[in-house]
């Protein structure tokens, strides 16, 4: 190294030390020095068999009984464990958990700025109350808890109820907009008749001409029987996702909620999708049947109740090897946020060669 080069290095070092005292850093050094890769979510799967056993074990824990805690098991993406995120999350923008409501238990009323969904996997005796309206929760039902809606859950039956709990908490936390507030009582009063929200929007088909169109998300309950029947009635689908439909906001015809899109897709017997990748991340739960997905060249076998993630820009394709039974996947993604920021992209890729496995 020449004396001239050494002098230049020392000059820049002294300059950077003075910058640091002002809590500043030069952009050119950021790009030049070192290989800087932020933590990335990894394709991953949480098996229903193991998560169900752990949920039952959580239900029997005496220490949290009567403490008002949710018996929820957050599913933490291994690629993000070292990221220092405020909430253990399944992707950078979404958290997901397996929640069990034990017989006779009440998950106390509160509200928060994060939006949430409940996708019921097992059990049919629980109820959720959303802003004074009671909804019965049955397997395959999707219930929405929009931002800052009061909600509590109760299980008066003699069997546990388990659902997938998903929130946009990581993205809300990123904006420092995460707030939570307890209800004055353990449970909120039921002030609306059953079916009130659905009736107020004409079951998604009609609208009162005297009501204002706000476009806000409602605490709706989408029944499995209706959603699955709609899939079965469709004749055309997507080359990438099979027969696929979105749980729509019936007041706008748009995405399920402002930050979250929820979809249901059917892979009919023998279906093997084409491969693609996109900037939105997706959390899947297997509602029916079994199959596999190839994600960035690695095969992930899945069956009923399994939860898996496809992070942003991971090439993926879905396969139903059965020649007699269909497979159905429920999914939640951050698509609305990406679209609103003009960041959504989708690209076709060739079907992938399998080079390994996931889970």
* Confidence at residue 216, expressed as pLDDT on a 0 to 100 scale: 78
Reported as type and span, the H/E element at residue 338 is helix 335-340
* Confidence at residue 67, expressed as pLDDT on a 0 to 100 scale: 60
* Confidence at residue 205, expressed as pLDDT on a 0 to 100 scale: 65
* Confidence at residue 61, expressed as pLDDT on a 0 to 100 scale: 86
Strand ordering across the sheet containing 346-349: 346-349, 275-278, 316-319, 291-295, 298-302, 356-357
**3, two tokens:** 């004396």
Q: Show pLDDT as tens, one digit a residue, over the chain (359 residues).
A: 577 688 888 999 999 999 999 999 999 888 887 666 778 999 999 999 999 999 999 988 877 766 657 899 999 999 998 766 667 899 999 999 999 999 999 989 999 999 999 999 999 989 999 999 999 999 999 999 999 999 999 999 999 999 999 999 999 999 999 999 999 998 999 999 998 888 887 776 666 666 666 667 889 999 999 999 999 999 999 999 999 999 999 888 899 999 999 999 999 999 999 999 999 999 999 999 999 999 999 999 999 999 999 999 999 999 999 999 999 999 999 999 999 999 999 999 999 999 999 98
Using CA atoms, how far apart are residues 226 and 221, in angstroms rounded to an integer?
A: 11
* Confidence at residue 215, expressed as pLDDT on a 0 to 100 scale: 65
Angle, CA 162 vertex, CA 282 and CA 291 arms, to 5°: 45
CB 305 within 8 A of CB 52: yes
Phi, psi of 111 (to 5 degrees): -150, 160
Residues 6+ apart with CB under 8 A from 281: 41, 91, 92, 93, 94, 309, 310, 311, 312, 333, 334
* Confidence at residue 32, expressed as pLDDT on a 0 to 100 scale: 82
CA 287 to chain centre: 15
In eight-state DSSP terms, residue 189 is: -
Using CA atoms, how far apart are residues 351 and 297, in angstroms rounded to an integer?
A: 9
CA distance to 77, 79, 176, 311, per residue, from 39 (Å): 11, 6, 20, 12
What pTM does this model have?
Answer: 0.92
């Amino acid at each position: 190294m020449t004396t001239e080069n050494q002098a230049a290095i020392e000059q820049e070092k002294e300059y950077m030390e003075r910058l640091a005292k002002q809590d500043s850093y030069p952009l050119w050094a950021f790009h030049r020095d070192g290989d800087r890769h932020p933590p990335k979510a990894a394709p991953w799967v949480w098996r229903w068999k193991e998560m169900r056993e752990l949920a039952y074990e959580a239900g029997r824990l005496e220490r949290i009984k009567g403490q008002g805690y949710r018996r929820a098991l957050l599913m933490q993406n291994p690629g993000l464990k070292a990221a220092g995120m405020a909430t253990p999350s399944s992707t950078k923008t979404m958290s997901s958990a397996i929640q069990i409501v034990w017989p006779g238990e009440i998950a106390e009323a509160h509200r928060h700025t994060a939006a949430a969904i409940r996708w019921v996997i097992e059990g049919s005796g629980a109820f959720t109350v959303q802003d004074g309206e009671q909804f019965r929760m049955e397997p395959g039902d999707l219930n929405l808890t929009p931002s800052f809606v009061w909600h509590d859950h109760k299980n008066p039956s003699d069997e546990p109820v388990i659902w997938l709990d998903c929130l946009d908490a990581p993205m809300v936390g990123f904006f420092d907009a995460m707030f939570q507030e307890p209800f004055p009582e353990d449970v909120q009063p039921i002030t609306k008749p059953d079916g009130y929200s659905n009736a107020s929007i004409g079951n998604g088909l009609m609208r009162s001409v005297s009501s204002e169109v706000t476009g806000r998300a409602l605490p709706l309950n989408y029944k499995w029987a209706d959603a699955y029947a709609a899939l079965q009635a469709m004749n055309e689908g997507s080359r990438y996702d099979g027969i696929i439909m979105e749980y729509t906001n019936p007041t706008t015809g748009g995405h399920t909620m402002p930050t979250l899109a929820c979809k249901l897709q059917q892979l009919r017997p023998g279906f093997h999708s084409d491969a693609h990748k996109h900037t939105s991340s997706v959390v899947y739960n297997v509602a029916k049947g079994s199959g596999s997905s190839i994600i960035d060249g690695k095969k992930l076998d899945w069956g009923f109740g399994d939860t898996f993630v496809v992070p942003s820009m991971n090439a993926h394709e879905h396969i139903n090897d059965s020649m007699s039974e269909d497979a159905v996947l429920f999914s939640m993604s951050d698509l609305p946020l990406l679209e609103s920021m003009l960041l959504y992209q989708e690209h076709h890729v060739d079907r992938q060669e399998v080079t390994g496995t996931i889970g």
